[in-house]
Structure 1
Amino acid sequence: MTHSVSPTAVPTADRVLQVLAVLAQQGKALSAAELMEHTGLARSTLYRQLARLKRWGFVLESDGYYAPGPLGLQLALGFDLASHLVRQARPAMVELAQQSQESVGLVVAVNDRAICLDMVESQQSLRCSFEKGRSVPLRAGASAKCLLAHLPEAARAAVLDAQWGPGTPARQAAQDELDAIRRAGFAMSAAEVDPGVWGCSVPLFGATRQAVGALTLMAPILRAQGQEQVLIRMAVVAAARISRQLAIH
């Protein structure tokens, strides 16, 4: 189910960014009608924003459908090359994927969503993947819960209030679960986001001991059964290696 966003909720100057963000998050070409539904913008307003984005190369139009353009791809490439976190995490991610024979993702929290920055795929024919660039709400699944658990207190409270409502039993239950994740040092889930997928996510810490992201190991549930503790230990060790690298660079 999609939810439109009231245009009054987004400042006028930010509407062009709102359109670009929707295109990035959906991961597919969208029609004007779909963009109107996702953004809540009037057709005339939407077309003005799309014209600006097309002029600058951030959006391409083909047969009435809109998708991220070449300048967006250049931004993504530049981000990959410049990202300190991706560079430091990549060697340990590759090693963990080889050791576990499963897929490994690097995820970060942006506003109220978990976004995949990098991915090392399992070489097995049956494998799980969280596509690079994909985002999900900070609500369900190991990655989202691990990131949410390690957000600064005020940011975490704001997300929980928005999801569950202040002072509700559901919010308290979510808070208790996040507290348990912080104590354990990892989050684990099974089929919470994608059917048949088991995942374990471990926080990554920078030089200031603030969490900067999470390392997620994911596998088909049938293959992970009975191996959960072994896989968790592998992920914890790999995350500790990355955190050490981040602390000294």
Structure 2
Amino acid sequence: MRKMKNETLTKGLELLFLLSRYQTPLMVSEMAQILKVPASTLYRIVRTLNNYGLVERIDSAGRYKLGYRNLVLARGVEEQDLLIKFALPEMKTLADIAEETVLLTTVMHDKSICIERVESNTPIKLTSEKGRIMPLYAGASGKILLAFLPAKERHRLIYLTPLKPLTPKTITEPKKLEENLENIRKNGYAYSNSEMNVGVVAVAAPIFDDRKKIIGGLTIAGPEQRMGEKRLPLLITMVKNSADRISSLIISNLKV
């Protein structure tokens, strides 16, 4: 069964690549002949791809072209490339000035994933690996993403995700988490102290695209003893300003 599913997926991808190479739309029979697949099999694949908007029937003759949904996928890749491209120089500057570790996170499968990081040069520092997956409900780096997700998606994640305590300070009550996220949206930044790792303080700000959709979170994180109340206002201003600059660069390039 798994082999059959893999073969179907492979043929579906080959079909999309085929349509991307041809300048004119193709009939199912033509695609079946080129791909050496039974027409009946290809009809099923085309029907599924059509349902998802990845291919589009253009006339009564049954000719198909690539669907506009592919632009959504392409835009997602472009946004992530631009996110890292424009965030990294800003992250290096921020880490140098703040003398703390700076993280870049985004949403992946209802989780937060670190897609870039610049570590502090200080002996005692927060270390985090690229590719590290973290919950959205705990810590500033995750909550900044969760706070700015669409309301319906946010509500689903708050009330359907098990809010397991990672430390004694992790918020595990949905209502309390909702209130915390509302404050994050209101203030434009997230703050956490020992929510995910004991002794780690973090402040984070959102990065948006040209449609005001959150595409990333910028976080300064470090040991509690260095990120006390006296430094926090400055660090919050710094991370918000850096995130705003990254957003502006991404927006200006997406509009080109």
Which band: TM-score by shorter chain?
Answer: 0.5 to 0.7
**Structure 1: which amino acid aligns with 2:181?**
L
- 8 Å contact from structure 2 (residues 149, 214) kept in 1: yes
**Structure 1: which amino acid aligns with 2:132?**
R
- 8 Å contact from structure 1 (residues 142, 201) kept in 2: yes
1:216 is aligned to: 219
CA distance in structure 1 between the partners assigned to 2:173 and 2:199 by the alignment: 25
Q: Percent of aligned pairs with the same residue?
A: 33
2:97 is aligned to: 99
2:205 is aligned to: 202
Distance 1:171 1:90, change over 3 A: same
Distance 1:124 1:248, change over 3 A: same
Q: CA deviation at 1:131?
A: 1.5
1:22 is aligned to: none
2:62 is aligned to: none
Q: Is 1:139 equivalent to 2:137 in the alignment?
A: yes
1:55 is aligned to: none
TM-score (norm 1): 0.64
- 8 Å contact from structure 2 (residues 201, 227) kept in 1: yes
Q: CA deviation at 1:172?
A: 2.1
1:243 is aligned to: 247
2:157 is aligned to: 159
- 8 Å contact from structure 1 (residues 96, 234) kept in 2: yes
C-alpha distance after superposition, 1:132-168 (max 9, x if no partner): 1101111110011111001111211110121269xxx
Structure 2, unpaired ranges of 5+? 7-76, 164-171
- 8 Å contact from structure 1 (residues 129, 218) kept in 2: no
Alignment length (residue pairs): 170
CA distance in structure 1 between the partners assigned to 2:5 and 2:179 by the alignment: 39
2:42 is aligned to: none
- 8 Å contact from structure 1 (residues 113, 135) kept in 2: yes
SS in 1 for 2:104: strand
- 8 Å contact from structure 1 (residues 106, 116) kept in 2: yes
Structure 1, unpaired ranges of 5+? 1-11, 15-78
1:67 is aligned to: none
Q: Which runs of 4+ in 1 moved over 4 A?
A: none
Which of these two proteins has the greater Rg computed from alpha carbons? Answer: 2
Correspondence for 2:112 among 105, 111, 114: 114
Q: Is 1:173 equivalent to 2:171 in the alignment?
A: no
SS in 2 for 1:193: coil
Q: CA deviation at 1:13?
A: 5.1
**Structure 2: which amino acid aligns with 1:234?**
M
Q: CA deviation at 1:209?
A: 1.3
- 8 Å contact from structure 2 (residues 148, 185) kept in 1: yes
CA distance in structure 2 between the partners assigned to 1:174 and 1:13 by the alignment: 40
Q: CA deviation at 1:188?
A: 0.4
